[in-house]
Amino acid sequence: DAGVIQSPRHEVTEMGQEVTLRCKPISGHDYLFWYRQTMMRGLELLIYFNNNVPIDDSGMPEDRFSAKMPNASFSTLKIQPSEPRDSAVYFCASSLAGQGSPTGELFFGEGSRLTVL
């Protein structure tokens, strides 16, 4: 079975440009999560969806960040305009149940490494 699929794997862009990261969760999973990994803070939850509805977006750093889930098989994370401090690896994950519950194992994609110059 295919796991969580993210694209692009690598993105290099210039400050001020719009960046769109894409995610296809595992079929049948009704929770989708966007995480950001940095050296200093580890894995930070940005936002998560349940049945395509945003549940908690308190981790979204600024209004420059937005996320959508138009259907059960696709989500996007957009940064507009991008800044050098947004450089990080962005992970998408999906699960059958809410995160952190005994049945809510998260399945992560391979990540999108973003570099903003």
Partner 1 sequence: DQQVKQNSPSLSVQEGRISILNCDYTNSMFDYFLWYKKYPAEGPTFLISISSIKDKNEDGRFTVFLNKSAKHLSLHIVPSQPGDSAVYFCAASAKFSGGYNKLIFGAGTRLAVHP
Binding of residue 56 to partner 1 (CB under 8 A): yes
9: left (phi over 0), alpha (psi -120 to 50) or beta: alpha
- How far from the centroid of its chain's Cα atoms is residue 62's Cα? 15
Among 55, 61, 80, 83, binds partner 1 (CB under 8 A): 55
Question: At its nearest, how many Å lie between partner 1 and the CB of residue 51?
Answer: 13
Question: At its nearest, how many Å lie between partner 1 and the CB of residue 19?
Answer: 19
HEC sequence for 59-117:
CCCCCCEEEEEEECCEEEEEECCCCHHHCEEEEEEEECCCCCCCCCCCEECCCEEEEEC
Applying CB under 8 A, which part among 13-21, 22-30, 66-74, 105-113 lies near partner 1? 105-113
Among 4, 46, 69, 116, binds partner 1 (CB under 8 A): 4
Comparison of 28 and 42: residue with beta carbon closer to partner 1: 42
